[in-house]
Amino acid sequence: MLNKFKEFPLTYSIIAINVVIYIISSLLSHNISDMDMEVLANMGALFGPYVAFKWEWWRLFTSMFLHAGMTHILMNMFSLYLIGRGVEIYFEKKAYISIYIFSGLLGSIASLYMHPETLGVGASGAIFGTFGALAGFFLAHKGEIASQSKAFMKDFAIVLGINLVLGFSISSIDVSAHIGGLIVGFIGGFIISKNSKWIWSYSAFMIGLAIVIMNYLPNYYVSIFR
């Protein structure tokens, strides 16, 4: 077990953090299978009016580590287990972390625009970002690793199916976060695979993009709730 952790420390650490936070939320909810929405809101779930009008931007990050129930976290962590190890093989640790975080953050922002009144939680945007990163990697090196692309597509189909089921069955999950995370991860994976030094340009661009988009959020919400 220790050897496995040493081989994929980031993936297993992210899974462990999510599990610990889920245990805390289940204790506060007095229910291990379904979380109390008020508890999730207090712990940092994504909620548009709080972000737009109270400037609680930290919810973009904290919501990535919260889950609505047992099915939600099991499916997400299984997806991360499948995909995260691949990302950890092909990318440096700082690239993995950057892609994961920016995919989650931009996925959360996409969710704020598409579902302004919904309480949102989950790591799906970030996980889809890792998937996008692998897709970007394979595209950048398609001539060199064609034999591995078939295995990747198999895992892609599994995780895509899992998240589609979750998206239609759990109200606190939305596909917009998935798509946003996937695009952000794909861009990062492709760019960084071409040149690892471009990680800083990628990070700067994503930070700037997030700031620009978030600046429009209050006015957008005012028009909605007018």
Taking only the tens place, the pLDDT of each residue in 45-84 is: 999 999 999 999 999 999 999 999 998 899 899 989 988 9
Q: Cα 217 to chain center, whole Å?
A: 20
Residue 124 bears catalytic tag: yes
pLDDT on residue 117:
85
Residue 150: pLDDT band by 50, 70, 90 thresholds?
low
Taking only the tens place, the pLDDT of each residue in 82-92 is: 889 889 989 99
Q: Mean pLDDT throughout 111-135? A: 90
Contact 134, 189 (CB under 8 A): yes
Q: Please give the share of the chain, as a percent, with pLDDT higher than 70.
A: 85
pLDDT on residue 170:
59
Encoding tokens for residue 102?
């920016």
DSSP state letters, 170-203: -TT--HHHHHHHHHHHHHHHHHHHH-GGGHHHHH
Is this structure's pTM higher than 0.75? Answer: yes
pLDDT on residue 146:
59
Taking only the tens place, the pLDDT of each residue in 167-195 is: 666 555 567 888 899 999 999 999 999 99
* Alpha-carbon distance values, 196 to 37, 130, 199, 201, 207 (Å): 41, 16, 6, 10, 18
Q: Which residues contact 226 (CB under 8 A, 6 or more apart)?
A: none
Higher pLDDT residue, 223 or 202? 202
Q: Mean pLDDT throughout 123-127? A: 92
Say how many residues make up the chain: 226
pLDDT on residue 163:
65
C-alpha span between 42 and 36 (Å, rounded) = 10
Contact 118, 219 (CB under 8 A): no
- Residue 67 gets the label, from left (phi > 0), alpha (psi -120 to 50) or beta, of beta
C-alpha span between 14 and 20 (Å, rounded) = 10
Residue from 103, 124, 176, 203 carrying the catalytic annotation: 124
pLDDT on residue 45:
95
C-alpha span between 34 and 79 (Å, rounded) = 20
Residue from 63, 178, 193, 203 carrying the catalytic annotation: 178
Encoding tokens for residue 156?
């892609």
Which segments of the chain does DSSP mark as H helices, in order?
A: 2-7, 9-29, 37-43, 48-54, 59-62, 70-90, 93-114, 124-140, 146-169, 175-194, 199-224
CATH class of 2-224: mainly alpha
Contact 123, 64 (CB under 8 A): yes
Residue 178 bears catalytic tag: yes
Q: Mean pLDDT throughout 158-169? A: 68
pLDDT on residue 1:
60
What residue segments make up the domains of the chain, in order of their start? 2-224
